[in-house]
Structure 1
Amino acid sequence: MEEEYAYHRPVMLAECLEGLNIRPGGIYVDVTFGGGGHSREILKHLTSGHLYGFDQDEDARIQSEKITSGNFTFIRANFRNIRKYLKVYGVNQVDGILADLGISSHQIDTAERGFSTRFEGELDMRMNRSGDLTAKDIVNEYTEEQLHRIFGMYGELKNARTVARNIVNARTGSPLVTISDLKKVLGPVAPRGKENKFFAQVFQALRIEVNEEMQALEEFLLQVPGLLNAGGRLVVMSYHSLEDRPVKNFIRSGKFYGEVEKDIFGNELKPLQAVTRKAVEAGADEIARNPRARSARLRIAEKPA
């Protein structure tokens, strides 16, 4: 079992499976395959059913080859294109969709991917390594205003403008290429005693911008109601409020902003119904085994019959 999780230990595995309410003959989609931890467990519950796994990362495709089940198909694509790619396989409706947002342990621990402040490596942060935009491009080519926007919006930095200005000033001498180059620039403006959290917020902002994570999430969510069969489930796990907020709002109202709309009789017009009133959180035992679970928030919704 531990060997199965060498690539990435899935968070709240039992809760995710329960949330999907798996039927043995159903059709399911794991839109964030990663190391395949969730997918392998879903497959154990299928007989005549089928599971489609999505991931844009080549490393995930390699991991998918370890699954030999005829009930499984891997699709190397971003989940923002879920409807288009499922249609290629003749799939128009499914019984459950799982999304475990964020990045895998493997991606974090691979220094050359540039995701972690703990290692030295080039500023990359692409989940799809064939993509054009890297973190290095952003810190060296974005204007001060553009940098201010992403650090404020995606990093939620209180001193986002100062950070942006420092980066622009520093790169005039020579480009910022590596993680240590960027940390050297950030050091003087990091809150004393909270440097690591500050660096993590900056890296989060860059990663979200590189991979268009918020746009991809919204595009994905808008397709979900049309893909789910009546009674089908959506299970989404997020790791920070920027991800959790649009998921929560979409389940609550079918929109990302504003109140739920109603018909002339006062009935709410929303495509999904929340299964759990509040987000599900990991228990103390799991957090002790896997500290990454501490920030996880799991939301479950169902398409009404």
Structure 2
Amino acid sequence: MVQPAATGHVPVMAERTIDLLAPALAEGGTYVDCTLGLGGHAEAVLATCPRARLVGIDRDPDALAIARQRLAPFGDRVALYEAVYDEITEVLAEDGTPQVQAILADLGLSSMQIDRRERGFSYAADAPLDMRMSPGAGRTAADVLNTASAAELTRILRVYGEERFADRIARRVVLEREAEPYVTSARLVATIDAAIPAAARHAGGHPAKRTFQALRIEVNGELAALEGLLPAALDALAPGGRFAVLAYHSLEDRLVKRSFGAATTDTAPRGLPVVPPEHRARFVALTRGAERPSDAEAQVNPRAASARLRAVERREGQR
């Protein structure tokens, strides 16, 4: 049983993730945690696989500092890097480990980012509209809200938030910012509440949820980074290596499903009695579709409720 850390952080679907990754690390090797966060999954994998070492990647220096302290008991089995996960190829080159045995990407926000009010990710408390996973780097959510055109805001909310009232919210934001620029989350929540029909405010969760998700994805370039990570991570796996991804919304999961589907499909024309080795799929699926957390886990750890887990394994002898 994986226990929460002193911070209260409970890694999502940790036991199932270990079940999927541990066989690739039975003889040792390198495990890459692309989204180290507070180090919950990494700690569990290192404890379960005593011959494995960790390459931990995170763009958030605050998270890295906490993870470094948490993982200190594992000594020189741990190497941590401040980077975005689509930079995995460069990180592994710097580490001197071009091929690895296991990779995990636990997408979305870390517990720390959600819980620290000043980071501006939560719509539940009034806070600066920041939302940057790398503090101090790039545009904030306030910058996006105060400079993007109504058409661009509509696109962001519709594509990244799947918000059906994207146009109404965008036009309201542009109107409101003429009087005063957006600075904190409470005002944005009030704008969203005023923009959408009353009947829709109490359906499908908090009315600001999709807008905040869309702004976070835009600010951090999350989908573009994921599109870069998936092929790079697959290429970094040694034969027999395994790659698991935890996604939390349909946009992420759709990209993972498409990438894993292509990787596990033979390229030979249909109808051939025998698939030539050069046309065999490089990977096999380890999960049937996307696995979901149990009801018991979702009750104990509400942040696990939307998780979708997929994993693949690189075939022996396949490059």
**TM-score, normalization by structure 1:** 0.93
SS in 2 for 1:51: strand
Matches within 5 A, 1:152-163: 152-163=158-169
User: Which of 78-87 and 267-276 deviates more?
Assistant: 267-276
Aligned to 2:262: 253
Aligned to 2:179: 173
Aligned to 2:304: 293
Aligned to 1:10: 11
Aligned to 1:125: 131
Q: Deviations 1:179-200 (Å, cap 9, x if unpaired)?
A: 0121121111232323853201
Contact 1:187 1:195 in 2 (8 A): no
d(CA) in 2 for partners of 1:245, 1:234: 16
Identity in percent: 37
Aligned to 2:220: 211
Q: What is the Cα deviation at residue 130 of structure 1? A: 2.7
Q: What is the Cα deviation at residue 271 of structure 1? A: 3.6
d(CA) in 1 for partners of 2:235, 2:64: 27
d(CA) in 1 for partners of 2:315, 2:27: 20
Contact 2:102 2:243 in 1 (8 A): yes
Query: Is 1:25 matched up with 2:35?
Result: no
d(CA) in 2 for partners of 1:61, 1:240: 25
Q: What is the Cα deviation at residue 142 of structure 1? A: 0.8
Contact 1:24 1:47 in 2 (8 A): no
User: Which of 68-77 and 46-55 deviates more?
Assistant: 46-55
C-alpha spacing 1:5/1:216, structure 2 compared with 1 (3 Å) = farther
Aligned to 2:54: 51
Contact 1:140 1:175 in 2 (8 A): yes
Aligned to 2:290: 279
1:263 to 261, 265, 268: 268
d(CA) in 2 for partners of 1:246, 1:98: 15
Query: Is 1:107 matched up with 2:118?
Result: no
d(CA) in 1 for partners of 2:245, 2:4: 25
User: Which of 271-280 and 160-169 deviates more?
Assistant: 271-280
SS in 1 for 2:128: coil
d(CA) in 1 for partners of 2:84, 2:201: 38
Aligned to 1:302: 313
Q: What is the Cα deviation at residue 75 of structure 1? A: 0.7
Query: Is 1:35 matched up with 2:32?
Result: no
SS in 1 for 2:243: strand
Contact 2:193 2:207 in 1 (8 A): no
User: Which of 68-77 and 246-255 deviates more?
Assistant: 246-255
Unmatched 5+ stretches in structure 2: none
Q: Deviations 1:173-218 (Å, cap 9, x if unpaired)?
A: 1101100121121111232323853201000000000000000001
SS in 2 for 1:117: coil
d(CA) in 2 for partners of 1:261, 1:165: 47
SS in 1 for 2:151: helix
Aligned to 2:252: 243
User: Which of 161-170 and 185-194 deviates more?
Assistant: 185-194
Q: Deviations 1:134-168 (Å, cap 9, x if unpaired)?
A: 10000001111110111000110112111111111
Contact 1:123 1:134 in 2 (8 A): yes
d(CA) in 2 for partners of 1:98, 1:294: 19
Query: Is 1:230 matched up with 2:243?
Result: no
